[in-house]
Every structure is written in structure tokens, then in C-alpha cells.
Structure 1
Amino acid sequence: MRRLPPLSAVRVFEAAARHGNFTRAAEELGMTQAAVSYQIKLLEERLGAPLFRRDKRKVVLTEAGARAAPQITRAFDAIDSAFANVRAEDEGLLVISTSNTFANAWLAWRLGSFQMAHPEMAVRLETSDALVNLEGGEVDCAIRAGRGDWPGLAPDLLLPIDFTPMVSPAFLDRHGPLQPADLLRLPLISPHDPWWTVWLREAGVDVPDGPLRPGVRLDSQAHEGHAAIAAQGVAMLTPFFWRNDLAEGRLVRPFEQISTRGYAYWFVAPVGRRNQPKIKRFREWLLAEIGRERPVPVLESYSARQA
């Protein structure tokens, strides 16, 4: 039999510990500050130990409180995740988060085939370059750019991120043939991007410190590529995303050199929910779809890491 203190008081303690402030905890829980103080007092009396030290206008966790708080927060996260799983399954809704670049340059063009293969499931794609919290259950899975080392998430490698300058044929006709050093004087699309400095220095160009030059700043590679197609300048792009435009002559690669910073796109889901049926179906579809276009090394997958 569990000897649990009142869960209402534990909930108040978790919020107060997380905020470090009774007033903000009260606002989150829809209570008065006096009610929060009362619940904390009840819990301390039940445990026979103080959990907070009152210090003028602020409260500070005691040693006992500091030991308990992280475990209680994890327990509430687990409870929230458990019920989020039930809600999501009952609704038959798969929510996917990814960056603007990956959505616009690849996923949005293909996601309909997954939806058609699973008509019983609603699919919502959320695009943002900010990292979303996958533990709360509001988003089921994500496609992220990085090194695949996010705590609590199971990653599967999708696509290494590399990059090289690209231009339209019309732009090249006006300014070519080009040498790497010529890029320092030509209009660049998103010149603030650190990829420019990496590529130029690997090409042997002496690049001064600081911004390369003023230029148009766009918020995703998808927009940058379309600006390059419109002959607005030189864009630093990932060849995989633009291979059709290269093959059909809308874009040209002036140089053979391709650089990388060691990042990749990864499919990620919380470890405990990775094999939830709807997430598993989408992961398998995604790996197969992108594998037909660019094979993924098996040893980089989460499954191989756990073997």
C-alpha cells in the first residue's frame, strides 16, 4: 500500500518548487497565495520536515525539498505523458513538428502519401525553427537538425546536412565563370549565415572576421533557394533539397566543393513513446521514403545504438 501525502498538496509543492515563488505557483494553479502557503504547510506537517525556507520576500528550497522536487516533477511529467498518450490515441491525431526548411523543401511535398496510406489518422504538421517540448504530449514527434543527442529522445538519422553555393543560370551568365573569392563581391542571400564563412575558408578564401556584407536575410533555406532561382544572388544550399532544380536547370552549382558542420536531420520521439503505433507507422514511412532518395546508414539509427 502506498503511503502518499495528499496529491493536491504535492501538486502545489511541485509548482512552487519549479517557479521558486508562491505567487507564480498560485497563478498557474488558479489559487490564492494563501492557499498555496496552506497546502505547503500541510505537506510539511505530514512529512515532518520543512520543504521551503522563507527568506524575506522569496522562498528557497531546503535540502529535503531540493532532493524531492526533481523526482516529483518527473513523476508529474510521466503522468501527463501517460494521459497525453491516451488522448492522442483516442483522437487519432498525429502531430509532427519540424523546421521551416525541412517542411518546405521536402516533407510537405510528400506528407500527403502518408495521409492517404492511413486515412483513419489525422495528421497535423507544425513548422517552427524553435525546439518544441515533446514530453508534454501536445506534439508526438519531430524532425530536428542537430547532432542527435537530445536527452530523453530516441533519434533516427535521416539526412546529413551539407552545403554549397548555388545560383540561377541567368545569374551565372551575368557574373560567371566564378572563383570562390568572387563571392566576397557578389550579392549573397542570407550572408549572415555562418555556413558562408565555413565554405569559403574551406575553399581557401581569406575571409575577414565579422559579417561578409549586407544582403537580403531570409528565414529558411526554402526561401533562399527560391530567391536564387529568381537570380537575386548566390544562396548557400543543401544539394539534397534542390536536386530536382539542379537536374532541371533552374539552379547551378558553380563549384564542386561541398562542406558540412557535422549536423544532420533526425527523426526524434520520446523514448517511452517511440513505439506507440501511430508514431511507429510514421517513422517507418519516413525512413523508407527518404531512404529511397538517399540511403541512411543503419548503424546511425537509434535501434542500432540500443543493440
Structure 2
Amino acid sequence: MRDLPPLSTIRVFEAAARLQNLSRAADELNMTQSAVSYQIKQIEAFVGAPLFVREARGVRLNQRGEQLAPMVQAALASLSRAFRSVSDKAHSVLAISTMQTIAGNWLAPRIGRFQLQHPEFAVRLDISPRLADFAADGIDIAIRSGPGDWPGLERHLLFDQTFTAVASPDYLAREGRPETPQAMLSHILIAPSDDWWNIWFRAAGVATPITFTRPGIDVETQQMAASVAVAGHGIALITPRFEADCFASGRLVKLFDITASAGDGYYLAYPREHRTSRKIRLFRDWVLAEAQVGA
């Protein structure tokens, strides 16, 4: 089509527009930075005007580029969906994006039951802290935490994101059990910089912002926080539903009958245009039923 630049050039423009950096676009596309720069010049020549403003630390879209970028992204996403919709792999593989904690502590122990019920599907779990780009990443459905206000997505609340303070019996035997939430400030807290602590202490009636008297242990995920707590190294905030086995076995103990929330939840989400897909409908119904177990 003479009124379109080459698809390879369009892909380079989309990556550069999204990343605002030619070097990062080159890494993503497995190209050299000079090749990316050349392709950008080609598409600007096709348009007949610049699309980017070159800056010391990268590039940014100018007004014309900002007008073009979302239409290009939507067109590429539409192409991706079109080809995936007719491929055998698209129908036989269910790609699920989620985070480490919910994958390891909640979904992984259950997903085998879904495959037993629906052996026609292979399941691929994509574990990542970032929100999925459904078209670019080849993701069918996602389980994420947040407020649930993601434009263009169907979403279903699985359960609320609540958290409570826990520790191991070994830690409590060594350090003593805090008699009040206020007394916890003199203990070793896991992930002390996490906003959850201020929220939990406010729910417990402790004035915030809080000040710790001992160094804490920083971790990246709730799953890691629970593991550090089980090992006896401090007090953690965890979602009780994710550590049911630890409570049942006595490896973790709830310190107080205080559960807090930031107002977020764990949601199932997928593009609205995929809501009629059979594999998405089957997984949606199954996972919503699983979320009610032990609720």
C-alpha cells in the first residue's frame, strides 16, 4: 500500500514513541541505535515533518507525533489481535499475567484444577510486577492488584486486598510478643518503607507517620516478606488469604485482630473485545469460583 510506510518502520516509531528513548527502543527491537535513528528519519520523511524533539537524555514526541502515536499503537494492537485470533496457538494456550505473590501463594496451587477440567488448554504464567500490554505481550488475561480503574478492560473483583501483622513463634520467643500495636515500633519490621505500615498503624490507632527505633529489613514482594517472617527475622504485613497454610501449621501467628486495607483489590482483567473468547470465559468463571473458596 503506497499510502503506508513499511511495517518495520512503523514498529520502530511505536517503540520510540512509547519508550521516549532511542537506545531503549533499539534494545527492545534487537536493533542498533543507528538503525532505529535511520527508521525514524524514514517515517518522518514519509510524513513530511518531524515527529520527535531530540533532547540530551532521549526524545519526546512533538505535537504531530503525539497525534500519530496513539493511532499507530491502536492499529498495531488490532493487527496483533487479528493474527492471534486465527492462530492455533492462540486457541490452545491461555496466557495469564500476574504478580509473584498471587502467582506463588494463590494461583499456582490451584491452576492444575483448571487444566484438569479443560485439558484442551495449555497454561502459560507470565510473572511480572508491571501491568500487562495485552497485545504486545500476547497476554489473554491478568490478575492484578489496584483500584480496578483500568480503561478499556473488563474487570472482576476476586477479593479485597487486606493485610495484618504477623510473626513466627521463633521470633516472638526471642524478641517477646508486643502487647500493643504501639509496642511494635521497637521491633524489627519487614519492608518498613512500605505504605502499608502507616495504613495499618492508623487502623490500629497509632499516630502516623511512624518512627522506627530499630532498622528493618527491606524486601520487594509480599511473598518475600512472608518468607522472612517465617524464618524468624521480623514482623511482616501480609494478606491472610495468601498464607493460610502458614497459619494452619503454626509457622506464622497473627499479632492482633486488626486488618487494614488501602482500598485496593485483586482483580481479574482482560480487554473488553476479548470477553466472548471461550478460553477467557472458562477461566473467568473458574477463577471467580475459586476466589469464593475460603472467602
Q: State whether TM-score is above 0.5.
A: yes
* Secondary structure in structure 2 of the residue aligned to 1:288: helix
Match of residue 52 from structure 1: 50
Q: Over residues 157-212 of structure 1, what are the superposed CA-to-partner deviations in whole Å (9 max), with x where a residue is unaligned?
A: 01101111012234334412521111111112222222112211332223455777
Which stretch shows the higher mean deviation, 274-283 or 218-227?
Answer: 218-227
Residues 1:134 and 2:105 aligned together: no
1:116 partner letter: L
* Secondary structure in structure 1 of the residue aligned to 2:9: helix
Q: Over residues 67-118 of structure 1, what are the superposed CA-to-partner deviations in whole Å (9 max), with x where a residue is unaligned?
A: 4553243222211222133336456111111111101111111111111222
State, as a whole percentage, how many aligned pairs show the same letter. 34
Residues 1:7 and 2:4 aligned together: yes
2:5 partner letter: S
Give, in whole Å, the separation in 2 of the partners of 1:151 and 1:6: 31
Task: Structure 1: state its 5+ residue gaps.
Answer: 45-49, 295-307
How do 1:216-235 and structure 2 match up within 5 A?
216-235=217-236
8 Å Cα contact 1:167/1:233 also seen in 2: yes
Matched pairs, number? 284
| Pair 63,247 (structure 1): closer, same or farther in 2 beyond 3 Å | closer
Give, in whole Å, the separation in 2 of the partners of 1:198 and 1:39: 50
How do 1:197-212 and structure 2 match up within 5 A?
197-208=198-209
| Pair 123,255 (structure 1): closer, same or farther in 2 beyond 3 Å | same
1:158 partner letter: L
Match of residue 243 from structure 2: 242
RMSD of equivalent CA atoms: 3.5
* Secondary structure in structure 2 of the residue aligned to 1:272: helix
1:271 partner letter: R
8 Å Cα contact 1:133/1:139 also seen in 2: yes
Give, in whole Å, the separation in 1 of the partners of 2:127 and 2:73: 28
1:203 partner letter: A
Match of residue 143 from structure 2: 143
What is the CA distance between 1:40 and its match in structure 2? 5.2
Residues 1:265 and 2:261 aligned together: no
1:180 partner letter: P
TM-score, reference length from structure 1: 0.77
| Pair 13,166 (structure 1): closer, same or farther in 2 beyond 3 Å | closer
What is the CA distance between 1:123 and its match in structure 2? 0.8
What is the CA distance between 1:63 and its match in structure 2? 6.6
What is the CA distance between 1:285 and its match in structure 2? 0.9
Residues 1:104 and 2:104 aligned together: yes
Question: Of the two, which has the highest radius of gyration?
Answer: 1
Which stretch shows the higher mean deviation, 113-122 or 214-223?
Answer: 214-223
Give, in whole Å, the separation in 2 of the partners of 1:245 and 1:84: 41
What is the CA distance between 1:264 and its match in structure 2? 0.6
Task: Structure 2: state its 5+ residue gaps.
Answer: none
Match of residue 299 from structure 1: none
8 Å Cα contact 1:163/1:239 also seen in 2: yes
Give, in whole Å, the separation in 2 of the partners of 1:293 and 1:226: 22
Which stretch shows the higher mean deviation, 180-189 or 198-207?
Answer: 198-207
| Pair 63,265 (structure 1): closer, same or farther in 2 beyond 3 Å | closer
| Pair 154,81 (structure 1): closer, same or farther in 2 beyond 3 Å | same
8 Å Cα contact 1:148/1:266 also seen in 2: yes
Match of residue 94 from structure 1: 94
1:276 partner letter: S
Give, in whole Å, the separation in 2 of the partners of 1:265 and 1:152: 17
Q: Over residues 33-69 of structure 1, what are the superposed CA-to-partner deviations in whole Å (9 max), with x where a residue is unaligned?
A: 667656654x55xxxxx44379899999887765455
Match of residue 190 from structure 1: 191
* Secondary structure in structure 1 of the residue aligned to 2:289: helix
| Pair 51,187 (structure 1): closer, same or farther in 2 beyond 3 Å | same
8 Å Cα contact 1:192/1:211 also seen in 2: no
| Pair 126,212 (structure 1): closer, same or farther in 2 beyond 3 Å | farther
| Pair 67,165 (structure 1): closer, same or farther in 2 beyond 3 Å | closer
